[in-house]
Amino acid sequence: MKKMSGVRLLTGLILSVAVLAAGISAMIYFSSMKKKPQRGKPREMVLRVTVKTAVPETVYTRLNGFGVAEPVTTVRIASEVGGRIIHTHPDLEKGRTIPKGDILFRIDPLDYRTAILDLEAGLAQRRAALTRTKKEFTADKKRLATIRRTMELARGEFNRVKRLLEENSIGNRSAVDQAEQAMNSAIDAHHQLERALSLYPSTIREAEAAVSSAMADLARAKTDLERCTVRAPFTGRVKALTLEQGEYASAGTEVVTLADDSRLEILVSLDAREVSSWLAFKTPANQNKIKDPSKSRDMPETQAVPGGFPVPEPVACEIRWIEARQHAWTGTLSRLVEFDQASRTMTLAVRFSPSANLCGDCPPLVEGMFCAVSIPGKPIKGLYRLPRWLVTTDNTIYVAENDRLATRRVERVYAEGDDVFLTGDIQPGDLLITTRLVEPMENASLKIVGELGNDTAGESKE
């Protein structure tokens, strides 16, 4: 049994080897009969593109922004004196316009008139005291000569009586004492009058100062009386109102706010780089003169002060209300207001008159309207125009060089509508590809199928 099992194993192994050898032989035979394919030449993909010849242009820049119209002049009016309001203007209501010089409101003047009467009486008293002092001064100056003569006579009498008694034993001691007493009295009176005369100038100055003080008090009281009547400083619209007739108004409390709608202003925030690059500013040496039509002399324009804030050129600007863009107004660039370091923006002020519209049927432009403002800037030469979608996100464009694609790096300088103006690695005459390509290979083969004019944007896509 063991011998039969070994035979079967050997037989299976021989059959397996035979089958494997037959398979290998068949594979070699069929492989030898297969013909190798011929190697073909690779074909290069050709991109069909349209181009545009690079021609440098001079671009007249404009800075565009938005802002809210606000009055240039807004005045908060407060009562300068306190009292009960006894009269108000018939049109003193929010939104109404008050003509210049009209009485806005009047405060009860009775107390102020009484104060004036009292101060006038006090002033009269001080003036009378000053006049009396001056007259006394004049009279005492005249008395001085008489008293001086009296003093000299009393001294002479004393010397005479004393000499008679001592030399001739004529008279008595009592007469000498009386003469001496009279002499001393005359000398004392003379000294007192001289002292009084020396004090008169200061007394007169004090009286004059008292008169001046009373006059100042009276003038102040008259001014307070005039301040009881408050008038409109200009023709303005009532913007805010916090008073009613019969109420008590405290001094210094704001009660009326007037806005001058004849001159409005819009503050526009713009990119600081664009403002500094495109806007024209005055220099300290720019001593331009403007002619005043009402006078024969020249007046200097507002100009930059050395070390001061830069002053922009007063160029004409276009203003459009957002809700009605078909209507336009013209304004003037007034000043540079501020630089915001956080947002890197500059705020410019544009002033205009609502009557300075560029259409005959423009709606009224009033405070609070949100407007678009266009400010003309300096012209920039040597820029190249392309549709903005042909410039990649990493600021490159494609050009055709000897029917090959080349990538050029550029810099965006200015945008207008769907176009962008470029500078950088572009030369006049370069063929700028105007077909939109998606990540093309550098040096790819090109076939130019059309050339667009300088004012035509490419539309084809690859």
Model pLDDT for residues 254-268, shown as the tens digit of each residue: 999 999 999 999 999
Rounded Cα gap, residues 317 and 64, in angstroms:
10
Confidence (pLDDT) at 16? 74
User: What value, to the nearest 5°, has the Cα angle with vertex 125 and ends 121 and 130?
Assistant: 145
Q: What is the pLDDT of residue 15?
A: 73
Rounded mean pLDDT of the chain?
Answer: 83
pLDDT for 364 equals 79
- Percent over 90 (pLDDT), the chain: 44
- Tens-digit pLDDT profile for residues 311-356: 888 999 999 999 888 888 899 999 999 989 999 999 999 998 887 7
The predicted model gives 174-192 an average pLDDT of 80
Highest mean pLDDT among 27-31, 130-134, 232-236: 232-236
95: left (phi over 0), alpha (psi -120 to 50) or beta: left
Q: Which domains does the chain have, with CATH numbers?
A: 50-58+381-452 (2.40.420.20), 80-107+228-252 (2.40.50.100), 111-226 (1.10.287.620), 261-379 (2.40.30)
pLDDT, tens digit (0-9, with 9 covering 90-100), for 58-107: 999 999 999 999 999 999 999 999 999 999 999 999 999 999 999 999 99
Please say if the pLDDT value at position 33 is more than 90.
Answer: no
Instruction: Write out the two tokens for 290.
Output: 């403007």
> What backbone phi and psi angles, to 5 degrees, belong to 368?
95, -10
For residues 426 and 302, the model is more confident at 426
The pTM of this model reads: 0.65
The larger pLDDT score, comparing residue 89 to residue 181, is at 89
State the Cα–Cα distance between residues 447 and 48, nearest whole angstrom.
5
Torsion of CA 333, 334, 337, 342, to 10 degrees: 0
Position 187 scores a pLDDT of: 84
- H helices within 164-271, ranges in order? 173-226
**pLDDT at residue number 17:** 73
